[in-house]
Amino acid sequence: MSVSNVEDRMGLDNTLEEPGRRAPLIVGGNDFTSITEKVCGIVERPKPPKGWYVALGVSAMLMGMLFGLIGYLVLVGTGVWGLQIPVGWGFAIVNFVFWVGIGHAGTLISAILFLFRQKWRTSINRFAEAMTIFAVICAGVFPGIHVGRVWFAYWMFPLPNQMDMWPNFRSPLLWDVFAVSTYFTVSLLFWYLGMIPDLASLRDRAGTRVRQIVYGVLALGWRGANRHWQHYEKAYLLLAALATPLVLSVHSVVSMDFAVSQLPGWHTTIFPPYFVAGAIFSGFAMVVMLAVPAREWFGLKDVITLRHLENMNKVILATGSMVGYAYGMEFFIAWYSGNSFEGFAFLNRAMGPYAWAYWIMVSCNVITPQLFWVRKIRTSPWIMFFVVIFVNIGMWFERFVITVTSLSRDFLPSSWGYYSATWVDYGMLIGSFGLFFTLFLLFLRFGPMVAMAEVKTVLPEADPHHGQDEDHDHRELADEIGAPEDPVVVAGLKGAMPAGDKYGILVRFKSPAELMKAARKVRDAGFTRWDVHSPFPVHGMDRAMGLRSTKLPWLVLAGGITGCASAILLQWWTNAVDYPFLISGKPLFSLPANIPVAFELTILLAALATVGGVFMLMKLPRFHHPLFHSRRFRKVTDDRFFLCIKARDPKFDNEGTGAFVSTLGGDAAEWVEG
Amino acid sequence: MKDSIPTDVIQLGAAGSAMRMAALVVGVISLLGGWFLTGGGESGHDTFFRSYLVNFTFFLSIGLGALFFVMVGQLMRAGWNITVRRVAEGLASGLWMMMLLAVPVYLGRHSLFEWTHADVVAADPMLQHKAAWLNDNFFLIRLVAYFALWLLMTWYFTSRSTRQDVSGDPQLTLNMGKWAGPGVMLFAVTLSFASFDLLMSLAPHWYSTIFGVYYFAGAVVGSCAMLTLVVLIFQKMGKFGNLVNAEHYQDLGKLIFAFTVFWAYIGFSQYFLIWYANMPEETIWYLKRQTGQWTTVTLVLLFGHFMVPFLGLMSRHIKRNSVLLMLWASWMLLMHWLDMYWIVMPEFSAGVVPFGLADVLTFLGVGGIYLSGSLHFCCRHPLIPLEDPRLHEAIGFENA
């Protein structure tokens, strides 16, 4: 295995492909310490850059405008929008679908790229997930206000009410409620679970009491224990496996809002995968659009490298081409079907009164991304910035074209009409960007915008075998990091044994490789109550410690089965038994129409079981722990590695174990009080 | 490391040549047998060609899926799959034989496609509308074009890969990576239209925009299952040593699992949207498949092609167990074959599953000839691209 040497890591351009040798994902000579320093530094510095204040000010104003307009809408009624028969779905739905689509990139990066072992995801997944959460919030606003009487919005949920009615589970709009809320919940859990180790880094570095308490509470007492990492990594994998079909389902369900109808231009079988491709397309475009300025402002060019941007642009090219494929297929089948209404709907899109919107859509979505075939364009940050803006414009117009052109001219020419948006429509669209950017900018300032613990795992020195055969440059690096503070440790423990209760002995190491060696020794010595602590999961440590595999998957399976069964029961009982009513000729209990909600609840309960289960198995939150007495231990969320043998271990004896740990090769050791 | 690999581990040798010969002989005899045993005459030939089409589209999908596997691996710079990629290249090389095997499809078009009958078209305004697309000459031109493009891609990716065996030039990897992008795009378009022409136009009034994606999903399931099976068989014959191990099988199993779910997703999307909108011109296609004995086949597909393997392939222990994986790969191949059967046959046999000797013989016929093409490639080249610059990743990798 090739280990990149220091020179290679100093260069900032890592886009050159050399077959057989993976390019470094992090450049600029970064190590564990500098990654923590860089990312936490953004949150800890007293003042953010001026540009941040300006951006936040503008965004907050626009957000205020959005809320003002919502107030106006609620007071006056939906007449303030441009909705008019035949176009009963306008900007609100267009904006909803647009924002939900944007919200697809985050979980795709965290989940699907994780399953595909795409390690480059680590630098961008955190803020892409944040973006997902905020985009889904923006999306959720629109159907909420579209119902007109927002105070009845809770009717969308299957809650018993005095009229003894239940929601209609055969309606795609209800599936949306389940799909979007499940997606929001699971994305939030995924995001938060991933953030816990980084919140612990912020806690351990906190300079003020307030920060220490806030980040301390949010970190739930995380201490990087390998007995935690073991469950945590499994939970992460399971959540990724659950989120992957979930991502696909959400925009599929959104597409069904249109596609289950009989309206020409809406009813076409390719809609679900086509919408998903479009969502990923626009989501990645938004990630690139945010990443280009963010890496510039916050000095993260060596963490979010050109290679990351290039890879994302390739995804944009691929998904943009899938969208182009779907456009072409729709057009071909519109003709091939011989259905004159279908044929007209598509000719009308391309040549009717909304042709301008159609051609904006085609040129932005199909033609613009093809620019990314050119290497120069997909590796130049500011050029790609403009390309992806066009992609986002195009994807908004796609939803406009689908929604409005089909409605404005349906089967009967006598009912045709033309939809024009009002100033309130435009104001709300712009305002929703204000909401999105306000939330996003606040996150950049107060949260860890790069997943530090995950980025550390892709550094070459995170490999526990690193430096075993060609290790001298690594040794030099290690020497720079710091000479052992306590040379005494080789001879024994520093300081006196505590008079009161002892928790155990804590030994510090400088690298995962040393920690791994020590763990094997402790395992072989027959200790049972001990653990290692590290800033990131060390590959192969479970085996080195001799841990048994986690029981978490069984909990998740149980959660999934419960979700599926309860969803089917719920839909059967509410729609076929308790409040039976016929709708669109569907059977009272119609299994196909119940599958979307059954799927969503399966995922939701399985995900809740994953997160609930992992906290149960890790016995977190636990805000106080004896190890937190140690000042040295604060580095466990930064760049140091620890091994702790507890005094409760049956093999523990004061002198013998003290002598034993000094053979482990650590650079410091201490007694921890109980 | 490369020098330490004994050649008999990476060469099929005499056993391979014998298998190739056997496959070819079985193939040719079965096809001839099928032709004569179906009784001749108009209805006998109809039976033959319909069974032939099922098996043609089945083995075509395996060749195409393998081509996709090869191209997408190059496109994504995959490292894990290098040790099994040569076999996939072999399965894709079988497309050369599929080109020859496409000739009977064209010759038998009158037994298959309603729109090739002038009298039917004359009485049907809808078919007159579609005649610009669905006509003999254009059909032939398209078939030739599909195969020309597929074989161009197959030739490019196999010849560059085997050339690298000799030269070890990393530039070849870069070139393949570069052309894999346009290749995959071209592949998507040609495969979709081929599925429209060969399968969707069996019911010429019916249409579905997702149909190409459906055929693609099945093709990837089928080809990954076939790849797994062939690699397992070669390994049982003493090939590969430990260059292919549980890690690779687990990944192949993951692909089978993932595309089984993808197939279900696409199949559900198509069924569900048609079921919900309930428009007669679309539901007719499913109605045929929910009538009489076809209902059972539909349910077998639902459970056998999705629900049971979904549960069965989920565990990593099963994917890492060569016996169980071999069973699942065979099962998925069978289900993918049934899927093709279920697409083709209800158009000709309302309510009755006409399974018979012709199906078996054309399966052996098309399959034998196709596999002889694949084995021909596998015999001529080492089973592992030993000079691929990413080979060490495939050898060293572990599923976390």
pLDDT in tens, A249-290: 999 999 999 999 999 999 999 999 999 999 999 999 999 999
In a domain, A512, yes or no: yes
The span from the CA of A557 to the CA of A535, in Å, is 30
Helix, strand, coil percentages, rounded to 5, for chain A: 65, 5, 30
Distance CA(B340)–CA(B350), nearest Å, equals 16
Q: Is residue A137 part of a domain?
A: no
Paired tokens of A609: 């079981």
Per-residue pLDDT tens over the stretch A514-554: 999 999 999 999 999 999 999 999 999 999 999 988 889 99
Between A and B, how many CB-CB pairs are < 8 A? 103
Looking at this predicted complex, what is its ipTM? 0.96
* B273/A262 touch (CB, cutoff 8 Å), yes or no: no
Domain count along chain B: 1
Q: Return the pLDDT at B117.
A: 96
Count the neighbouring beta carbons within 10 Å of the beta carbon of residue A506: 25
Calculate the dihedral angle through the C-alpha atoms of A55, A57, A61, A64, rounding to the nearest 10 degrees. 110
Task: For chain B, say whether A2 makes contact (Cβ under 8 Å).
Answer: no
Q: Are B235 and B329 in contact (CB under 8 A)?
A: no
A656 against B308, higher pLDDT: B308
Higher pLDDT, A344 or A470: A344
Query: Which of 100-159 (B) contact A at CB < 8 A?
Result: 126, 129-130, 133
Instruction: Give the model's confidence band at B398: pLDDT under 50 very low, under 70 low, under 90 confident, else very high.
Output: confident
H helices of A147-270, where? 172-205, 209-219, 226-259
Q: Which residues have a Cβ under 8 Å from the Cβ of B235 and sit 6 or more positions away?
A: B244, B322
Point out the residue among B130, B278, B392 whose CB comes nearest to the CB of A336.
B130
Helix axes A552-572, A591-618, angle to 10 degrees: 150
Token pair of A543, please?
Answer: 């085996």
- Rounded Cα distance between A100 and A104, Å, is 7
Contacts of A339 in chain B (CB under 8 A): 281
Given A19, A259, A261, which is nearest B390 (Cβ)? Answer: A19
How far is Cα A637 from Cα A36, in angstroms, rounded to an integer?
9
Contact A513, A465 (CB under 8 A): yes
Q: What is the mean pLDDT of residues A619-634?
A: 92
Lowest mean pLDDT among A8-22, A31-45, B85-99, B299-313: A8-22
Per-residue pLDDT at A473: 43
Q: What is the pLDDT of residues B383-395, one digit of tens each?
A: 999 999 999 999 9
Contact B173, A19 (CB under 8 A): yes
Inside any domain, residue A519: yes
Strand partners, B391: none
Q: Find the helix or strand (DSSP H, E) in which B264 lies.
A: helix B246-277
Q: Which of A55-59, A347-351, A355-359, A649-653 has the lowest mean pLDDT?
A: A649-653
**Quick check: B189 and A325 CB within 8 A?**
yes
Q: Does B207 touch chain A (CB under 8 A)?
A: yes
Mutation target among A171, A242, A269, A372 for the B interface, most CBs of B within 10 A? A269
Q: Are A261 and B277 within 8 A, CB to CB?
A: yes
What type of residue is A588? L
**Biggest alpha carbon–alpha carbon distance for chain B:** 71
Q: Looking at residue A484, what is its pLDDT?
A: 42
Q: What are the beta bridge partners of residue B68? A: none
Cβ of A269 and B273 within 8 Å? yes
pLDDT digits (tens, 9 = 90+) for A46-75: 888 888 999 999 999 999 999 999 999 999
DSSP-derived pairing of the beta strands A641-646 and A530-533: antiparallel
Residue A477 has pLDDT above 50, yes or no: no
pLDDT tier for residue A6 given thresholds of 50, 70 and 90: very low
Q: Is there a contact between A270 and B277 if contact means CB atoms under 8 Å apart?
A: no
Q: Is A622 helix (H, G, I), strand (E, B) or coil?
A: coil
- Chain B residues in contact with A325 by the CB 8 A cut-off are 188-189, 192
Interface check for A259 against chain B (CB to CB < 8 A): the answer is yes
In a domain, A507, yes or no: yes
User: Scanning every residue of chain B, which has its alpha carbon at the shortest distance from the alpha carbon of A257?
Assistant: B273
Cβ distance A333 to B269 less than 8 Å, yes or no, reads no
Position B3 scores a pLDDT of 64
Task: Produce one character per residue of A215-226: b if its CB has 16 or more CB atoms within 10 Å, e if not.
Answer: bbebbbbbbbbb
Question: According to the model, what pLDDT value does residue B332 have?
Answer: 98
For A335, nearest residue in chain B (alpha carbons): B130
- Among all residues of chain A, which has the CA nearest to that of B187? A325
- Using DSSP, state whether A644 is helix, strand or coil: strand
Q: What is the pLDDT of residue A654?
A: 81
A306 part of a folded domain:
no
Residue A321 with chain B: CB contacts under 8 Å: 185
Give the rounded percent of residues in chain A with a pLDDT score beyond 70: 94
- The counts of H helices and E strands in chain B are 19, 0
Taking the CA atoms of residue A207, residue A208, residue A214 and residue A218 in that order, the dihedral angle to the nearest 10 degrees is 20
* CA dist., res. A432 & res. A62, Å (int): 8
**Residue B400, in any domain of the structure:** no
Query: How confident is the model at residue A481, as a pLDDT?
Result: 41
CB contact under 8 A, A592 and B188: no
Does residue B235 sit within a domain? yes
Torsion sign (Cα): A393, A394, A396, A401: positive
SS3 A150: helix
Partners of A458 on chain B (C-beta within 8 Å) are none
Choose from A337, A339, A554, A603 for mutation: most chain B CBs within 10 A: A337
What's the whole-number average pLDDT of chain A? 90
pLDDT for res A196: 96
Output the average pLDDT for chain B.
95
Range of the domain at A665: 487-549+623-673
Is any Cβ of chain B less than 8 angstroms from the Cβ of A363? no
Q: Computed from CA positions of residues A584, A585, A589, A590, in that sequence, does the dihedral angle turn out positive or negative?
A: negative
Q: Which residue range is the domain that position B215 belongs to?
A: 2-395
| Per-residue pLDDT band at A3 (split at 50, 70, 90) | very low
pLDDT at residue number A379? 94
Q: Residue A494 has what pLDDT?
A: 58
- Residue B60 covered by a domain: yes
Q: Examine the pLDDT at A113 and tell me if it is beyond 80.
A: yes
Position A498 pLDDT exceeds 80: no
Helix (H, G, I), strand (E, B) or coil at A29: coil
Chain B nearest-CA residue for A332? B209
Q: Which residues of A touch B205 (CB under 8 A)?
A: 338
- pTM, entire model: 0.94
B 266-305 residues with CB < 8 A to A: 266, 268-279, 281
- Burial category of A496 from C-beta neighbours within 10 Å (exposed 0-12, middle 13-18, buried 19 and up): exposed
Residue A358 forms part of a structural domain:
no
- pLDDT higher than threshold 60 for residue A7: no
Radius of gyration of chain B (CA): 21
For residue A531, what is the enclosing H or E element? strand A530-533
Closest residue of chain B to A262, computed from CA coordinates:
B277
* Per-residue model confidence (pLDDT) at position B44: 81
φ, ψ of residue A505 in degrees (nearest 5): -110, 135
Quote the pLDDT of residue A214: 96
The verdict on A272 touching B (C-beta cutoff 8 Å) is: yes
Residue A475 has pLDDT above 60, yes or no: no
Name the domain count of chain A. 1
Q: Do B210 and A269 touch (CB under 8 A)?
A: yes
- CA–CA distances in Å: residue A335 to residues A403, B113, B126, B130, B141: 21, 20, 11, 8, 20
Put simply, whether B170 touches A (Cβ < 8 Å) is: yes
For tokens 């009308």, name the residue: A348
Measured CA to CA, the distance from residue A179 to residue A140 in angstroms comes to 11
Taking the mean position of all CA atoms in its chain, how far away is CA A211? Answer: 24
Q: How far apart are CA B115 and CA B123, in angstroms?
A: 11
pLDDT tens for B305-359 read 999 999 999 999 999 999 999 999 999 999 999 999 999 999 999 999 999 999 9
Of A155, A146, A250, A260, the closest CA to residue A574 belongs to A155
